[in-house]
Structure 1
Amino acid sequence: MKKVTVYCGSNRGLNPSYEQEAKKLAFEMVQRELDLVYGAGNVGLMGVIADAMLAGGRHVHGIIPQKLVAIEVAHKGCTELTVVETMRDRKWLMAEKGDGFIAMPGGIGTFEELFEIMTLNQLGYIQKPLALYNVNGYYDGLLAFLKHSSEEGFLHQAQLNLLIVSDDPKDLLNQMQGFQPIHMDKWEVRR
């Protein structure tokens, strides 16, 4: 794993710990000589993690659709800035460029990206580690819902097992680096 795609909010959130934890994640990535792929924003947690990675001397590849360049204030300091036509192009390029994925606290866009990577892993289009950086228990409610979905027969336990969850960046990256994919043919099919 050399490049990590990080999904996170274009807001900083109300609790200052979200910003602090974004910096901790960046520090740990810098220590491991990992580079960042992200949504190219200069605002919110996106700007925080990009600035911390750049300060650590790492390569930061920002990918943003033209329509959002002004809205999300595209980060002009990115080592590499790719402006694409659509959100679909952005998401696909971010999925393609990253060797693993981390969803930090964020909003609807972060949730969409998280679920898209879960789906791509499930269907075998990619086989890359996906992690939730569960700062302050941010994802506890979502994890409870995913467990409920599995208990109701709509989500394979094997897919849930692929989701790495931690509130510690060292543990998160250790688990990602030890990731072992599960092939779809090994999953139980419910009829």
Structure 2
Amino acid sequence: MRICVFLSAADLDDRYTRPAREFAELLGKGGHTLVWGGSDSGLMKVVADGVQETGGRLCGVSVTFLAASARPGADEMVIAENLAERKRLLVEKADAVVVMVGGTGTLDEATEVLELKKHGHTDKPVVLLNTAGFYDGLKAQLRRMEDEGFLPRPLADLVFFAEEPAGALACLEAATSTAAAVGQGVG
């Protein structure tokens, strides 16, 4: 499976890097491909290292103004002209999406994929990895949007909140195997 991970390129505390590394190692050991922003710094580097060191593949999508910090040695590296093209390519190249901790760029990517899913432009599973309660506020806001009628689909149809890495990957694997079975006329 090709899994897009939206996350920070910042150097972060161990409470964020340890679970990110754990998730990355699960991806690599599972033979999955990481589709990510292509950076070789911060949390992006931690995840790319973990995937690559455990046998997974790397598909980076950087952007022109960040190309100098793109990871050397990725299996595939695409350089987009702008951030909009980068987001589009990240989602297109993946079978599923995981949102890890990050700043405004990560939040922008997360809300865009949720908006695409809300309107039926993608059916890819989306998981927010709520490391150390990082997305508790967003989870509460999305639930309020659902409760007050701002979402035309149930929140559970849009996103799954995982509290730990193994749960995030299990959700993705279950969703993609169910989709494959339905696509083959099973289920």
Taking structure 2 as the reference length, what is the TM-score of the superposition? 0.89
- Aligned counterpart, 1:76: 72
CA distance in 1, matches of 2:163, 2:26: 13
Taking structure 1 as the reference length, what is the TM-score of the superposition? 0.87
Letter in 1 for 2:119: L
CA distance in 1, matches of 2:170, 2:150: 29
What is the deviation of 1:34?
0.9
- Aligned counterpart, 1:9: 8
Deviations 1:59-116 (A, max 9, x none): 101111111123xx11112111111211111111100000000000001111111111
Provide the secondary structure at the position in 2 that maps to 1:178.
helix
CA distance in 1, matches of 2:130, 2:14: 15
What is the deviation of 1:44?
1.3
Question: Which runs of 5 or more structure 1 residues have no equivalent in the other structure?
Answer: 182-191
After TM superposition, list the pairs within 5 Å mapping 1:74-113 onto structure 2: 74-113=70-109
Structure showing the higher helix proportion among its residues: 2
After TM superposition, list the pairs within 5 Å mapping 1:16-31 onto structure 2: 16-31=14-29
Q: 2:147 aligns with which of 148, 151, 160?
A: 151
**Contact 2:29 2:55 survives alignment (8 Å):** no
Deviations 1:109-136 (A, max 9, x none): 1111111111111111111000001110
CA distance in 2, matches of 1:59, 1:69: 19
**Contact 1:42 1:74 survives alignment (8 Å):** yes
CA distance in 1, matches of 2:138, 2:131: 13
- Aligned counterpart, 1:164: 160
What is the deviation of 1:17?
1.7
Moved over 4 A (4+): none
What is the deviation of 1:57?
2.3
Question: Which runs of 5 or more structure 2 residues have no equivalent in the other structure?
Answer: 180-187
**Contact 2:96 2:172 survives alignment (8 Å):** yes
**Contact 1:146 1:160 survives alignment (8 Å):** no
Deviates more, 1:165-174 or 1:21-30: 165-174
Aligned sequence identity (%): 31
**Contact 2:8 2:102 survives alignment (8 Å):** yes
Q: What is the RMSD computed on CA atoms of the aligned residues?
A: 1.5
CA distance in 1, matches of 2:59, 2:157: 29
Aligned residue pairs: how many?
177
What is the deviation of 1:31?
2.2
Letter in 2 for 1:139: Y
Deviations 1:144-174 (A, max 9, x none): 1111122222124513443111122221111
